[in-house]
């Protein structure tokens, strides 16, 4: 192979054992991304007037729905990998081996978030706006799981950051020399996602995006990156009218994101004053009311003293 200093080396290990358990790096990166997404979204939701507990309650619905949806979408678009001569249909359930489709996870995760938000009394789009920067962070971290699985690489390249891949890889093009370097598409998408976190936060602050508008920007931004990266990926995929399934998903995502942004801009012009559904605002406790009364009393006394001082 070419010098390691002129390429990205293929990972030496894909998992490790703890007692009788085999821990895959893919699973670790997915779990790390989920944990960070929950923590960051909880912090952001609290900053919008919610509670940390509410974000966790919604995540309890969002995460399982997202995993099921991501796996289901992957399996449906890669049926030849699981059904047929010599295939093991039970492996459809082996999530830890890789194979979570982002768009399936987004669709089902959104359904789970909608249910969870209804239970907690929070507006779905208010929660989504709090979540999407954290979600991009999780996606950027999760892509490194693909690196340790030696999957989702792209076309041959002579670029110095080309990725070394073992030529026995199932996605390796037939007849290609074994020392050929491949496009590290996992890295491209990871960088796109992590840069996107900063972009979303800057846009949110500059334009005071509320009412789900940040969510619309997220859908558009992520889908644009996916539309640019997907065509150079070499992993097997269903082809529809000359385009990979996820290329069509990305195109639809861009259209949906822009349409949603337009509709929300037309429907919501003013400031969103509460993230709660009508009639679902939390009731202040006696301690909260006492604290507010004390603050009001202190402010009144300060005001009175100031008037007396001026009159003297």
pLDDT digits (tens, 9 = 90+) for 26-55: 999 999 999 999 999 999 999 999 988 899
Predicted confidence band at 4 (pLDDT cuts at 50, 70, 90)? Answer: very low
Residues 170 and 237 in one domain: yes
Residues 298 and 149 in one domain: no
pLDDT digits (tens, 9 = 90+) for 282-296: 875 544 444 444 544
CA distances 170 to 34, 35, 161, Å, are 29, 31, 22
**Strand locations in 49-168 (E):** 156-157, 163-164
Residues 44 and 119 in one domain: yes
* pTM for this entry: 0.86
Chain-wide mean pLDDT for the chain? 88
Residues 277 and 264 in one domain: yes
pLDDT digits (tens, 9 = 90+) for 171-228: 899 899 999 999 999 999 999 999 999 999 999 999 999 999 999 999 999 999 999 9
Residues 181 and 277 in one domain: yes
Residues 81 and 120 in one domain: yes
Q: Which pLDDT does position 235 carry in this prediction?
A: 87
For residue 297, what are the domain limits? Answer: 285-312
Average pLDDT value for residue range 139-164: 94
CA distance 122 to 127: 7
Give burial (CB, 10 Å; 0-12/13-18/19+) of 219.
buried
Predicted confidence band at 109 (pLDDT cuts at 50, 70, 90)? Answer: very high
Task: Indicate the number of domains in the chain.
Answer: 2
Q: Which pLDDT does position 284 carry in this prediction?
A: 58
């Amino acid at each position: 192979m070419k010098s390691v200093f002129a390429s990205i080396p293929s990972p030496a290990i894909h998992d490790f054992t703890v007692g009788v358990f085999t821990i895959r790096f893919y699973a670790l990166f997915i779990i790390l991304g989920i944990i960070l997404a929950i923590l960051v979204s909880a912090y952001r939701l609290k900053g919008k007037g919610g509670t940390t507990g509410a974000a966790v309650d919604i995540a309890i619905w969002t995460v399982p729905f997202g995993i099921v949806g991501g796996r289901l979408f992957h399996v449906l678009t890669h049926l030849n990998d699981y059904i047929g001569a010599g295939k093991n249909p039970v492996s459809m359930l082996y999530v830890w081996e890789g194979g979570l489709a982002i768009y399936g996870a987004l669709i089902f995760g959104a359904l789970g978030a909608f249910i969870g938000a209804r239970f907690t009394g929070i507006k779905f789009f208010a929660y989504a706006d709090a979540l999407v920067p954290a979600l991009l962070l999780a996606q950027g971290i999760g892509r490194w799981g693909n690196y340790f699985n030696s999957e989702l690489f792209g076309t041959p390249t002579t670029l110095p950051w080309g990725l070394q891949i073992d030529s026995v890889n199932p996605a390796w093009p037939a007849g290609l020399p074994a020392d050929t370097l491949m496009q590290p598409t996992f890295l491209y998408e990871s960088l796109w996602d992590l840069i996107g976190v900063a972009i979303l936060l800057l846009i949110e602050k500059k334009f005071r995006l509320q009412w789900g508008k940040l969510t619309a920007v997220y859908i558009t931004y992520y889908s644009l990156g996916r539309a640019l990266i997907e065509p150079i990926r070499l992993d097997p995929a269903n082809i529809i009218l000359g385009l990979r399934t996820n290329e069509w998903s990305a195109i639809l995502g861009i259209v949906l994101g822009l349409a949603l942004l337009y509709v929300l801009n037309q429907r919501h012009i003013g400031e969103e004053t509460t993230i709660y559904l009508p009639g679902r605002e939390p009731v202040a406790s006696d301690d909260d009311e006492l604290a507010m009364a004390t603050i009001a009393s202190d402010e009144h006394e300060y005001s009175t003293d100031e008037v007396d001082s001026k009159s003297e």
